[in-house]
Every structure is written in C-alpha cells, then in structure tokens.
Amino acid sequence: SIASADMDLNQLEAFLTAQTKKQGGITSDQASVIAKFWKNHRTHIHESLINQSRWDNVLKNVSWRVDLKSQLRHIDQINTPVAIVEMELGKNGQ
C-alpha cells in the first residue's frame, strides 16, 4: 500500500499509525522500522515499480497537427478539423 500510493512522510505516518491501532496490526517498533526503510529507499522502490510496469517500448517523440479540409464534394464537410498524431516508439533503455 505504501509503495503503490507513493506515500509522502505525512501520509506514511498516518498510515502506520492506523496500522498500529488495528487489532492484529503492527507494533510501534515495526512501524518505526518500516518508516525508516521507506524514507531511505522510497526513490529506488518507486523507480523499480515503474520499470516493472512499463512495456518494452517507450514513447520517444510525439508530433501532431490539425488540418482543415478546404475542398470536398459536400459543402457541410468543409472546414472539418482532422487531427494527425505521430508517435515514435523505441526500446526501453535505448
């Protein structure tokens, strides 16, 4: 729960306090150890979760434009906007 929510220190303290008050929850010593571990390793854990959930391909570049049609067979279709999106994908780490 702590890692998936990427809790800041205030959220962490509130969460661990609630866990210590639950019947069958954690002790205050366990809460202290968890808090210290999270403070020291939060960035590494967050990056690891992101890397595990990422596909092999990553988005390298995006370009887009909006075109307006100026000549068509039917007058009601003139000036209809058309969005064109180009996405460049690459392998993770390359």
Per residue in 50-94, pLDDT tens? 878 777 777 888 999 988 777 767 776 677 788 899 998 887 666
pLDDT value at residue 77: 66
pTM over 0.75: no
- Residue 16 pLDDT > 80: yes
Task: With CA atoms as reference, report the closest residue to 38 among 15, 5, 9, 4.
Answer: 9
What is the mean predicted confidence (pLDDT) over 21-29?
91
For residue 76, the tally of other CB atoms under 10 A from its CB is 7
Residue 80 within a domain: yes
Residue 79 within a domain: yes
* Residue 13 lies in domain: 9-53
Please tell me whether residues 47 and 72 are part of one structural domain.
no
Residue 28 within a domain: yes
Give the three-class secondary structure for 25.
coil
For residue 31, the tally of other CB atoms under 10 A from its CB is 19
CA dihedral sign of residues 79, 82, 83, 85 = negative
